[in-house]
Amino acid sequence: MEALTVAVLMGGTSAERAVSLASGQMVVEGLHQKGHRVYPIEITADGFWRNREKDVLAISIPCSVMEALNPIPDIVFIALHGPMGEDGTVQGLLETLSIPYTGSGVLASALGMDKRKSRLLFAGAGLLVPPHLMIQDHRNIADAVQNAETLWGYPLVVKPNNSGSSLGVTITRDSQHLPENIEQAFTLSQQVLLEPYLTGTEITAPLLGNESPMALPVIEIVPPGEFFDYRCKYNGLTQEICPARIPSAQRNHAQQIAVTAFVLLGCSGFARADMIISQNQIYLLEMNTIPGLTRESLVPKAAKAAGLSFSDLLDQIVKLGLERWH
Domain boundaries, the chain: 5-102, 112-129+199-309, 133-196
Reply yes or no: is the peptide bond before residue 243 cis, omega within 30 of 0. Answer: yes
| pTM of the full structure | 0.91
Q: Tell me whether residue 288 is exposed, middle or buried, using C-beta atoms within 10 angstroms of its C-beta: 0 to 12, 13 to 18, 19 or more.
A: buried
Residues recognised as catalytic: 16, 165, 234, 272, 274, 286, 288, 292
**How much is the average pLDDT of 306-320?**
97
> Mapping DSSP to helix (H, G, I), strand (E, B) and coil, where does residue 141 land?
helix
Q: Please write the tens of the pLDDT for every residue from 123-167.
A: 999 999 999 999 988 778 888 889 999 999 999 999 999 876 577
The sheet carrying 156-160 orders its strands as: 133-135, 192-196, 156-160, 170-172
Is 22:10 a contact under the CB 8 Å cutoff? Answer: no
pLDDT, greater one: 116 or 66? 116
64 pLDDT more than 80:
no
Structurally, at CATH architecture level, domain 112-129+199-309 sits in: 2-Layer Sandwich (3.30)
Task: Indicate the fold that domain 5-102 takes in CATH.
Answer: Rossmann fold (3.40.50)
Question: Considering the chain, what is the average pLDDT of its residues?
Answer: 90
pLDDT recorded at residue 152: 95
Nearest to 77 by CA among 113, 131, 126, 38: 38
> Mapping DSSP to helix (H, G, I), strand (E, B) and coil, where does residue 46 land?
coil
The Cα-based distances of 20 to 11, 52, 136, 153 in angstroms read: 5, 14, 28, 36
The class (CATH top level) of 133-196 is: alpha beta
pLDDT band at 231 (very low <50, low <70, confident <90, very high): low
